[in-house]
Structure 1
Amino acid sequence: MNAKWWQRGIFYQVYPRSFQDTTGNGVGDLEGIRQRLDYLVELGVDAIWISPIYPSPMADHGYDVSDYCGIDPVFGDFETFDRMVEDVHNRGLKLVLDFVPNHTSEQHPWFQESCSSRDNPKRDWYIWRDPAPDGGPPNNWVSYFSGSGWTFHEPTGQYYYHAYLKEQPDLNWRNPEVREEMHNVLRFWMKRGVDGFRVDVIWHLIKDALFRDDPPNPDYKPGDPENMRLQQAYSADQPEVHPVIAGLRRVVDEYPDRMLIGEIYLPVARLVTYYGENLGGANLPFNFQLISASRHAKDLAKIIMDYEAALPPGGWPNWVLGNHDQPRIASRMGPELARIAGMLLLTLRGTPTMYYGDELGMEDVQIPKRATQDPWELNEPGIGVSRDPERTPMQWDASPHAGFTTATPWLPVSPDYVRQNVAALDADPRSILTMYRRLIALRRSHACLEMGTYRTISDEDDVLVYLRENDGERVLVALNLSDETQEFTLPEDMRACRILLSTRMDDPEFAESRLRLRRHEGVLIEIEAEAAPA
């Protein structure tokens, strides 16, 4: 009963460029988000996470920030933002902003000062190094978007470091002035009513003080993205990052009921250290294990239990299945297993984060070469790194451009939008959207699905069965991940029960103690109180 809103709640990521355009320029905006809030209320989510809306040259679509305390005109202005925040809160929702502290745009005034001369007061706000003895980069660190992570600046004769594009120079978080300035950015937005922050690439904030070379990655194969060629032993995930994150958390805690999410792509043993000493780090270090997990029950059961075992005492779990950097769930798994994935995400212990359109079964869209927007794909074409396919416009209805815009959209709309859209699926009692709404309503009405314990019951025959329990209330989740019909015999103390929901949105076959699960079917079962042990 004392749980925080971010523990009970469901997060929903909105990629603002692709949610709803109200100005007729083909790009989504804040007013579009505001106008679609009732849809999110009806869906049942609790918090909206919005990808960057700050002024930006858009070299990386907003992740190159030129002003942390402004709003890019393509998205709107502060009047629109404040009206949106008010409407979000009036509907009982929370608002989480993307915070991009690792790097700025090269057009940020700080970097313009930093590169003006070696003795400029802001020179040390970024990472500058002399050339190697041969005149080349200071070390072998590579950019995530291909090529060296170092760019030579002719006027001052030094290299600056950028973990991503050369247009995104990394800030020097060892500099206390940088920390204080960024702390003030958090305060600025919290004063405007923001309820929390998702911190972009939080594990990158501190680099090795000695700038040692990263070692080779023995698993690298020809055709892999260049950023996989090295192991990030020194260019990221340094021990000194944790006091930096603790400082961010202290600022967030200055304001009541706010929270901090960290984007972290690390193995689970390292991931959980980002909860911080005495849980003074990120409230939720994002857990992406399900994104790359296999579809086999035993593998999933192991991932879940290993993660639960690794959590620090009091650490609250969380799960993510999709975002703006990953292929769509339905494209990775197919339409039937996408329903199973939704049931898994929303019934595991912890806070789930959804990605816009996954509740519609939206799939990746093939982007013609001429329409490519993603700078990573433009830098490393032909190896499948583009993130454009999962960032295409939300599909609202069957009108032109799926009701997203009256203009040519910034990315192509999926060709299946005429049948796969909110209006069509809303009218279909067996659609994936209807399933998501019912599933979320059941999660909200059953405390054991929000806050209960987790226990694996079985992972045989590619059927994952687990129990959620809280104060005598029990719900069994059974997910048939196999390509065949499977039967599962309920334990003796769970035989007085009723079916709450099937991913097929009909009545599953159930007789006495045996549950017959069709291929790729998931079922929620409420265990009646009289079946509980005495």
Structure 2
Amino acid sequence: MKYANDPSWKKMRRILFIGFWIGWVTMLVVAIVIIVQAQKCPSRPDQKWYEKETVYEILPESFKDTSSKAYNGAAKKGDGVGDIKGIKLQLKYLKDIGNRILYINSMYQSNDEEHLALVDHTKIASLFGTMEDFEDLRKEIKKREMRLIMDFIPNHTGKLSKWFLKSQKKEGKYSDYYIWSPCDPNTNSYPNNWMSVKGGRAWTYDDSRKECYYHQLESDKPDLNLWNPDVKQELESILRFWLNKGVDGFHVQNVQYLYEDKNLKDETLTAGKPGKAYSDFEHNHTVNHHKNIKILQSWKAVLDSYNTKRGREKALFVTAGNDLDTTRSFFDAGVSIVRISPLSQNGTSLSERIETQLKDFNFGRIGWMLSNKDTSRLANIASPLHTKAFLTLQETLPGVPFNYYGNEIGMIDHPTLPVPWKYRTPMQWNSKGTGFSKNIKWLSNPDNYTHLNVQTENATGHDYTPLKVYIKLKNLRQKESFQWGTMVVFRDGDLLMYTRKAEGFPGYLVAINLGSKNLTWSFFETTGISKNVKVVFHTHKKDNTAFNPSERSYKLDAGHAVVLEFD
């Protein structure tokens, strides 16, 4: 304290004190200026797992068979048919090519070839394996950080279901598990004029019960009576059974047919039609009944009860037609993803049909499905020339792509098999045709399997095979603008174009030549984009061209697609 009162030290302390506060205030002001002037980080939406990834759809009987080779004609059940162990064996392939969500078509115990006439909703068909096989598959899927979607079939059962067998005998509560009504086929007397989607009357006489039962589909698939509370409780129990097994979600089969008019009213006959076919009627009492939405909400509530924390949400998928109101109502019911085709029924050309659909359904969590087990493969929609163009379309639209197994390598419909089997041929794994099974396959493949297969398309030097383009598209799809960016659609003749742009991130222009002629085009004239752009993806060649669309055109061959990046 010797110098505490020394005038020079007092002055020094005063200077240091003032300097400290000036420095502190200056740093504070600078920090505030930097924060105010700095560009704000663009916001990111809270996307669920089912909104981010491509869904890979598997027909289990056609994916991979692990049965050992049968010798001396000693074939056994399941030889030459895909199975659960085969799916597990190929999980590495599925993840390596960019898929994180698997949707496996019905594997349940049934008494029909399509595995839809269910005997038991909670048992695995022995053709595909055991419940232990399923549980092993589920564990491996979880280990690889993938997701599993299964079919949920609530509209009907098979005639060998214990429910139907008891209902035939009018046993207790099971008496009204199905839609029964008095009828007399001998006098052509039926409950009403309802027709089956598959042809003929929707009513079949049952000799045991001496009444007719209703079936929207084939007669071996009697419709459940969803007006019955016991039936609804049974269906919820089925959901809980599989949720307890670790399933991540469900695709509701035949969602449009769930409820029918309770009073069995006649449907409206279209003027001028004879009333002999399903298409002769307006299906105002058997399709898209308003109660369908209510029961979807109740099923979604069951799934939501398993959402224990973020990332563990359970998803409910449905497939819809081209009805905008119905699609919106599914979203209102809480459905996670609504699958539709990007091909509208309205339009004279392929590009116009797609343009119409993209503009109409540019909302919500749409799932884009170009093919499935009941429709032509992606490569057959126009021609194999357009395979990679359609893969580009599917992966760059807002929403969720659904890829049917084999489309990623350009598999085609079988030229001689009947519908629907021509769409369901075994996965083409190698050039020898032995990659699917060591035994005789349950269906034959088209002859092009020798060069159109996973092994060949993965080979070194083939940089733009459909499979390698599929993988490139998966990487491109991770960009923010493709994940949640808005879309604006343009079309000029056979050239379909659309932009994807998320605020604060680079935007993209996707251009697809859906015609049969090569085009040289000014993207500026059609889209108005005048900024510099750079090619970041091409379906057929390496191209990193940078240019200004207002100053030059771009050549795009028939069946080719290109993606341009802009700021």
The answer, yes or no, to whether TM exceeds 0.5 is yes
- Is 1:357–2:406 an aligned residue pair? yes
Which whole-Å CA distance do the structure 1 matches of 2:227 and 2:181 have between them? 15
- Is 1:439–2:473 an aligned residue pair? yes
Which whole-Å CA distance do the structure 2 matches of 1:217 and 1:254 have between them? 44
Q: Displacement of 1:221 after TM fit?
A: 11
Paired letter, 1:334: S
Q: Deviations over 1:243-287 (max 9, x none)?
A: 1111111111111210100123352232221223xxx33212221
In the alignment, which residue of structure 2 is the partner of 1:121?
173
The correspondence for 1:324, drawn from 337, 361, 373, is 373
8 Å Cα contact 1:272/1:285 also seen in 2: no
Paired letter, 1:199: V
Residues 506 and 216 of structure 1: is their aligned pair in 2 closer, same or farther, counting only changes over 3 Å? farther
- Is 1:464–2:481 an aligned residue pair? no
In the alignment, which residue of structure 2 is the partner of 1:49?
103
Q: Deviations over 1:465-487 (max 9, x none)?
A: 11111133211101112222223
8 Å Cα contact 2:409/2:452 also seen in 1: yes
Q: Which segment is superposed worse, 501-510 or 145-154? A: 501-510
Paired letter, 1:45: N
Q: Displacement of 1:132 after TM fit?
A: 6.3
Q: Displacement of 1:342 after TM fit?
A: 1.0
8 Å Cα contact 2:338/2:365 also seen in 1: no
Q: Secondary structure at the match of 1:260?
A: strand
8 Å Cα contact 1:125/1:175 also seen in 2: yes
8 Å Cα contact 1:145/1:165 also seen in 2: yes
Which whole-Å CA distance do the structure 1 matches of 2:339 and 2:557 have between them? 32
Which whole-Å CA distance do the structure 2 matches of 1:435 and 1:299 have between them? 24
Q: Secondary structure at the match of 2:133?
A: helix
Paired letter, 2:59: Y
Structure 1, gaps ≥5 residues long: 373-385, 530-534
In the alignment, which residue of structure 1 is the partner of 2:288?
237
Q: Deviations over 1:485-515 (max 9, x none)?
A: 2233244655322211111234387754222
In the alignment, which residue of structure 2 is the partner of 1:380?
none
Q: Deviations over 1:271-317 (max 9, x none)?
A: 221223xxx33212221242757654343222211112xx4xxx322
8 Å Cα contact 2:532/2:547 also seen in 1: no
8 Å Cα contact 1:367/1:388 also seen in 2: no
8 Å Cα contact 2:322/2:344 also seen in 1: no
Paired residues, number: 497
- Is 1:86–2:139 an aligned residue pair? yes
- Is 1:501–2:552 an aligned residue pair? no
In the alignment, which residue of structure 2 is the partner of 1:405?
437
8 Å Cα contact 2:371/2:377 also seen in 1: yes
- Is 1:387–2:420 an aligned residue pair? yes
Which whole-Å CA distance do the structure 1 matches of 2:153 and 2:194 have between them? 21
8 Å Cα contact 1:508/1:517 also seen in 2: no
8 Å Cα contact 1:478/1:522 also seen in 2: yes
Paired letter, 2:174: K
- Is 1:31–2:82 an aligned residue pair? no
Q: Which segment is superposed worse, 46-55 or 228-237? A: 228-237
In the alignment, which residue of structure 2 is the partner of 1:269?
325
Residues 264 and 217 of structure 1: is their aligned pair in 2 closer, same or farther, counting only changes over 3 Å? farther
Q: Deviations over 1:93-117 (max 9, x none)?
A: 1100011110001101011100013
Q: Displacement of 1:439 after TM fit?
A: 0.8
- Is 1:337–2:380 an aligned residue pair? no
Q: Secondary structure at the match of 2:498?
A: strand
8 Å Cα contact 2:486/2:502 also seen in 1: yes
The correspondence for 1:147, drawn from 177, 194, 200, is 200
Q: Secondary structure at the match of 2:116?
A: coil
Q: Displacement of 1:66 after TM fit?
A: 0.7
- Is 1:305–2:359 an aligned residue pair? yes
The correspondence for 1:40, drawn from 91, 94, 108, is 94
- Is 1:170–2:223 an aligned residue pair? yes
In the alignment, which residue of structure 2 is the partner of 1:253?
304
In the alignment, which residue of structure 2 is the partner of 1:12?
56
Which whole-Å CA distance do the structure 1 matches of 2:438 and 2:244 have between them? 35
8 Å Cα contact 1:402/1:418 also seen in 2: no
8 Å Cα contact 1:13/1:354 also seen in 2: yes
Which whole-Å CA distance do the structure 2 matches of 1:219 and 1:518 have between them? 47
Q: Secondary structure at the match of 2:381?
A: helix
Q: Secondary structure at the match of 2:56?
A: strand
Paired letter, 1:48: L
In the alignment, which residue of structure 1 is the partner of 2:5?
none
- Is 1:525–2:564 an aligned residue pair? yes
- Is 1:285–2:330 an aligned residue pair? no
Structure 2, gaps ≥5 residues long: 1-43, 69-78, 308-312
Residues 327 and 207 of structure 1: is their aligned pair in 2 closer, same or farther, counting only changes over 3 Å? same
Which whole-Å CA distance do the structure 1 matches of 2:108 and 2:192 have between them? 32
Which whole-Å CA distance do the structure 2 matches of 1:75 and 1:220 have between them? 45
Paired letter, 1:270: T
Which whole-Å CA distance do the structure 2 matches of 1:97 and 1:218 have between them? 41
The correspondence for 1:481, drawn from 497, 514, 527, is 514
Q: Secondary structure at the match of 1:281?
A: coil
Residues 291 and 196 of structure 1: is their aligned pair in 2 closer, same or farther, counting only changes over 3 Å? farther
Q: Displacement of 1:433 after TM fit?
A: 0.8
Which whole-Å CA distance do the structure 1 matches of 2:452 and 2:209 have between them? 55
8 Å Cα contact 1:291/1:321 also seen in 2: no
Higher alpha-carbon Rg: 2
> Identical aligned pairs, as a percentage?
28
Q: Secondary structure at the match of 1:70?
A: strand
In the alignment, which residue of structure 1 is the partner of 2:243?
190
Q: Displacement of 1:199 after TM fit?
A: 0.5
The correspondence for 1:206, drawn from 244, 250, 259, is 259
Q: Secondary structure at the match of 2:358?
A: helix
Residues 286 and 19 of structure 1: is their aligned pair in 2 closer, same or farther, counting only changes over 3 Å? same
Which whole-Å CA distance do the structure 1 matches of 2:272 and 2:447 have between them? 37
When normalised by structure 1's length, the TM-score is: 0.88
Q: Which segment is superposed worse, 124-133 or 90-99? A: 124-133
Q: Deviations over 1:134-160 (max 9, x none)?
A: 453212222222221111012322100
In the alignment, which residue of structure 1 is the partner of 2:15?
none
Paired letter, 1:9: E
Q: Displacement of 1:189 after TM fit?
A: 0.5
Q: Which segment is superposed worse, 506-515 or 339-348? A: 506-515
When normalised by structure 2's length, the TM-score is: 0.83
Paired letter, 1:77: T
